[in-house]
Amino acid sequence: MDDSVSDIPKGSFPKAAHLLKHSDFQRVYQQGRRHFSGNMTVFYLLPANEAAPGVNGVWTAKSMRAHKEGDVRVGFTVSKALGGSVDRNRMRRRTREAVRHHLHMLQETSIAVDVVINPKRSLLAVEFGLISQEIERAFRVIRKNCEAAEKKSGKQEARRG
């Protein structure tokens, strides 16, 4: 017996997949790439875009923790300029739900990636289906770039070896 309420696909968004620290958000903004869509801007950082390692060229435990193989973390930023707390929280809930449905697309890759989603004010007025499509499209672009980075790093390792 199917106990689902709707035909919307199920997914999960575990706490380990949340991007939480201010320094991680800043790193994604400063060193990452952008994907623009009608109702949001998606920033993402692949390991290939990583700046130099920690102190004295050595990776620290903190920097290694975020870059385990296949580790995907997603964060949300909703500026106060977008409206009051009710509107901002609604934008955050709607994008989080869309991410929950499509996160599996990124978790299937073997490359770690950090993603930050910045919704635009227009997100409040659109249907959830459109938000979900935009998240899916953004994750497809990120996945494609992850796979390209993986192939590129594989070729570089083959040259060294």
pLDDT > 90: percent of the chain? 55
Task: Give residue 149's pLDDT.
Answer: 78
Task: Give residue 110's pLDDT.
Answer: 77
Structural domains in the chain? 15-153 (3.30.230.10)
pLDDT at 48 over 80: no
Nearest CA among 61, 59, 60, 131 for reference residue 100: 131
pTM of the predicted model as reported, rounded to 2 decimal places: 0.78
- Under DSSP, the state recorded for 77 is -
Task: Give residue 3's pLDDT.
Answer: 46
What's the pLDDT tens digit per position in 53-107?
Answer: 444 433 344 554 545 556 899 999 999 999 999 999 999 999 999 999 998 888 8
Whole-angstrom distance, CA of residue 130 vs CA of residue 5? 20
Give the containing element (helix H, strand E) for 28. helix 22-31
Whole-angstrom distance, CA of residue 135 vs CA of residue 107? 14
